[in-house]
Chain A
Amino acid sequence: MLEFLDLCGFDERESGEQLPRLQEVFARLGIGDADVREAKERLHTYYDTDLQGVRKTMRIILKDLADVVLVRDEGRQKVIHACMAPGFETLGTAINTYSREVGLIYPNFTFMVMLGCVFGKFLPVLDAAEKLWLRSGVVAHCGMVKTRLGLFALGMVPLPDMTLTTGFSCETSPKSNELIEEIYGIPALYVDACQDRQMSEYPDFKRTTIFAAKSMRRFSGRVRQITDFELTDDMVWWAIEARRPITAAMQRVTHVIRHSDPLPIGSAHLNLMSTLGAIPYPVEQIPDVVDALDTLHEELLERRRKGIGVTPKGAPRVLAICPMNYSDPRLEHLANRMGLALVASDFEFASEQRLSGAGIVNPDDPYDIIAQHLHQSPAQLLGGRIAIILDACRKLDVAGMLNHYHVGCRVVAGDAMAIKDAVTRELGIPVLTFEWENFDPRAYDEEQFETKLEMFRGMMEATRDSR
């Protein structure tokens, strides 16, 4: 266990302090000694634990795992559970800092990384959900939605006092929360945007963000009704500012990853970045997060200076459509082994409205500021997403696109053919398209993916040679 904690960036002092807590958490999650041994192997195999920044990142995620599991034991009397709620990590920071009684947890990504990527024990979570109303099969319910339900069903996260999700892109998550309310009696809160964007308006979607901002503000009102805790605008402003260093540090890291040759770190680490960005840290934890990212940044710069990487120099650079698998690092690991540099996913990019701030209607409304995330690629309409992806491909100078579309999300899956079509036509680069499940380790088939990626690499090399 101590060796595992060392791999996860705990120093000796902290290991001693945290050990009883983590042992309690592992006991509740059914993680035994054999699992810890397996986790160490997986960390060595799939993650660059030579980098202190990676270890520090794992430490933060592991601590969040413990924070979530013990949220009630450690004093929070009212718990809000958030899932598929971008922007609420910020409101969560406000709540978790300003209140000691109320806590907002946003556990899915953390559990996927830890239980899935690190321990390789994610299937029972999905199975538990599939035994309820998110059955397996052709219907292809989203693994993210299954994760929330499965974690509840297994008692891995404490049942909350309310659930929160958004309908910014998806109706599956809200419907599942509604059934959780009906069956478990846990009130469900929903925050929505109205998904009626027209391409003739692109990139100006102020009516979408204004609507979302109002819906988010209503959430705060509901929190007060249910918990007696008032989330003021000042608190939200404070949280926005408190989290800026995280965003800035993350951008520095992803900039190095995107613009280095060879690729300085495995692509599987990209989902660690997403996970770090989704945790609703109380303020006292934020310096650790920035430190982890800054450490990683320095280490990657060093690698770049030395020409060290996980792919050969000149390896084809690839943009992924949909993020790296959150619960299983194998595909990204395989791709890197086969000499493909997956440098980013389209989810990391947004329209100019987000970048320039032109989308903000009321700069005095903190919810309007938070709602600007709706200019990101996954929240866009098809035409907007294509525009953002084409722009990203050009900026990153990629040789190909890995169009693995998450079948559980009809919104992103529905775009897949059109994206392939547009990229092929406009950029003339190879696009590998296949069905994917972003959160389910069962989507991985080594032989099949090896064949596909081999062919894909060949196409990219041929395209490059012909130019």
Chain B
Amino acid sequence: MITTDIDALVRDRPKDLDEARSSGTKIVGYFPGGYVPEELIYAAGAIPLCLAHGGDAHKADEGLALLPSVICPFARAQVGEMLLKTNPFYSMLDLVVVPSTCQHMKKVGDVWEHYGDVEIFKLGVPYQCEDDFELEYYKDRLLALRARLEVITGASITDAKLGKAISLYNRLRELLRTLSLTRRGRLWASDSRPAICRTPIYGVPINTLDFVRLQHASLYVDPAAMVAALEAIHRDLSEVSSSGGSGRPRLLLMGPNLAYGDHEVLRMIGEAGADVVIEEIFEGLRDYWYSIDQGVAPSLGGTTGGGVTGAASSQGDPSSGGADLMEVLARGYLLGKRPATFMRGSTRKRLEFVLQLIQDFDVAGVLWYQLICCEFYDQESYYFEKALRDRGIPMLMVESDYRTQEMGPARTRMEAFVEMIAGGPANA
């Protein structure tokens, strides 16, 4: 099994963290969403740890002691973890970085700051990036984070260390991207696209549940170890000339969050007779579609070039050089990738991205996995459903509060959806 070794890495990770901590290494947690540069944490000699556990109604319910039920279950689960202190990943933190992304997670940051016993650093993420002051603000906050990391680790973050960290995480993203592309399911005979977009064709694509678990593992496991593990997986996947295919309907999974431990929706849709072949999720998974280019910096106005099946590389003004890595990092994280939902004016860009995914991955329908009370994505589901319907692409929304009793009706709806896409009951 591809994921057997990865499971071991994650399973053994708390022990590694404990040992590292005993020898003075600092552990820096951060909440997901893709706006906290792990490179900076890694370059400080600390261990970056994305706090992305979810899927457990008990943990979410624990969070009700401090947050009301209108806060989404993932956010409540983070507070639940803080209160319960049973999860080793949440119990060994020296600093937690809270990016200002969605309102729910900002509130989690406030609650952790108010009630928790670990230092919190709030990383402001501007919601639009049209002018210099926004980029400067984000860069200033990164500089403040850098200063704080240097204090708590006692190590200085040199350009050399930061450059190596950037290269390491770029490699991690690249490997995940390449694996992801194996799910496209058809040959790309000729390829005139830039090198970063080209990929060897595998006859055995990775299945999405495994791929999601790999992504989750990459949030917890040492990045160098993860890179080595992914390279091993690449070696193990064989190259054949034919494209396989299950014949089952191919779906895109979309939604606000898919936490570590929240895999039920993937299992259910698999049992319903369809395959999720690609996902577009805001939090909980790693965004692997971009790379931080240390040579040049992306210009204001957003991502340039790349396209879906290649990385959105930070292409900008070559004359800017690569001297200021903090600038490169700020630009790469804020401008060099497709914008997240909370970014102003992001909806259309994300629709375009999704449509490209649908085309590239031969998707027949979209499964929208909605966490209860996520008002952002709830609003957007209306827009996406309409836009997809206008293009003949069906969409099904299933909601979750992490409770298993909701699964029955959701399963029935998924089965009906799959049947509809497949053109009727298989045994009619």
- Interfacial residues, chain A to chain B (CB-CB below 8 A): 132-135, 138-142, 167, 170-172, 174-176, 178-179, 182-183, 188, 190, 192, 194-199, 207, 211, 214, 218, 381-383, 386, 405, 407, 410-411, 413-418, 435
Contact = CB atoms under 8 A, between A and B. Distances in A.
B379 A414 contact: no
A198 B122 contact: yes
B68 interface: yes
Interface of B: 65-68, 70-71, 98, 100, 102-104, 106-107, 110-111, 113-115, 120-128, 130-131, 133, 137, 140-141, 341-342, 344-348, 372-376, 378-383
A414 B66 CA distance: 8
A138 B69 CA distance: 9
Contacts of A178: 344-347
Contacts of B111: 382, 414, 418
A435 B68 contact: yes
Contacts of A134: 379
Given A182-B347, A410-B103, A417 B127 contact: no
B113 A172 contact: no
A199 B113 contact: yes
B70 A198 contact: no
17 contacts: A141-B378, A171-B102, A171-B103, A172-B376, A175-B341, A175-B376, A179-B347, A179-B383, A183-B383, A195-B100, A196-B122, A207-B140, A214-B131, A382-B110, A382-B114, A410-B103, A417-B66
Contacts of A214: 131, 133
A179 B372 contact: no
B344 A417 contact: no
A388 to B, nearest CB: 14
Contacts of B140: 207
B123 A196 contact: yes
B114 A414 contact: no
Contact of A410 (B65, B71, B98, B123): B71
A194 B100 contact: yes
B125 A194 contact: yes
Contacts of A141: 375, 378-379
Contacts of A410: 70-71, 103-104, 107, 373, 375
A276 B383 CA distance: 35
A324 to B, nearest CB: 20
Contacts of B121: 198
Given A171-B342, A413-B68, A382 B107 contact: yes
A383 B70 CA distance: 20
A132 B382 contact: yes
Contacts of B379: 133-134, 141, 172, 175-176, 179
A195 B113 CA distance: 14
A134 B137 CA distance: 32
B71 A413 contact: yes
**Which are the 3 A-B pairs with shortest beta-carbon distances?**
A196-B124, A414-B107, A133-B382
A194 B133 CA distance: 12
B110 A139 contact: no
Contacts of A179: 347, 379-380, 382-383
A414 B110 contact: yes
Contacts of A218: 130-131
Given A405-B68, A414-B103, A418-B66, 20 more contacts: A135-B378, A135-B382, A139-B375, A175-B375, A179-B382, A182-B347, A188-B345, A190-B128, A192-B128, A192-B344, A194-B124, A196-B98, A198-B120, A198-B122, A214-B131, A214-B133, A381-B110, A410-B375, A411-B107, A414-B104
Contact of B65 (A171, A174, A407, A417): A417
B146 to A, nearest CB: 15
Contact of B127 (A171, A381, A382): A171
Nearest to B347: A178
Contacts of B68: 405, 407, 413-414, 416-417, 435
Nearest to B106: A195
B263 to A, nearest CB: 23
A414 B140 CA distance: 28
A195 B114 contact: no
A192 B125 CA distance: 11
A418 B112 CA distance: 11
A139 B372 contact: yes
B383 to A, nearest CB: 5
A183 B380 CA distance: 12
A196 B378 contact: no
A139 B103 contact: no
B70 to A, nearest CB: 5
Contacts of B102: 171
B60 to A, nearest CB: 14
A279 B129 CA distance: 30
Contacts of B103: 170-172, 410-411, 414
Contacts of B345: 178, 188
A207 B134 CA distance: 12
A171 B122 contact: no
A214 B375 CA distance: 28
Nearest to A176: B379
Interface centre among A142, A172, A176, A413 (most CB of B within 10 A): A413
Interface centre among A138, A139, A417 (most CB of B within 10 A): A139
A256 B333 CA distance: 52
A50 to B, nearest CB: 40
B232 to A, nearest CB: 39
A188 B114 CA distance: 35
Contact of A418 (B115, B120, B372): B115
Contact of B70 (A183, A188, A407): A407
B125 A190 contact: no
A182 B348 contact: yes
Nearest to A418: B114
A190 B127 contact: yes
A172 B375 contact: yes
Nearest to A407: B70
B378 to A, nearest CB: 5
A73 to B, nearest CB: 32
A405 B67 CA distance: 11
A133 B341 CA distance: 16
Contacts of A435: 68, 70
B133 A133 contact: no
A133 B387 CA distance: 13
A194 B380 CA distance: 22
Nearest to B70: A407
B107 A171 contact: no
A302 B412 CA distance: 68
Contacts of A199: 113-114
B100 A196 contact: yes
A174 B122 contact: no
B127 A174 contact: yes
A197 B124 CA distance: 8
B288 to A, nearest CB: 25
Nearest to A384: B110
Contacts of B346: 178
A139 B70 CA distance: 7
Contacts of B130: 218
B107 A197 contact: no
Contacts of B128: 190, 192
A133 B377 CA distance: 10
Contact of A182 (B127, B373, B383): B383
Contacts of A182: 347-348, 383
B301 to A, nearest CB: 15
Contacts of B125: 194, 196
A181 B342 CA distance: 15
B373 A138 contact: yes
Nearest to A189: B344
Nearest to A416: B68
B264 to A, nearest CB: 19
B30 to A, nearest CB: 13
B347 A140 contact: no
B42 to A, nearest CB: 22
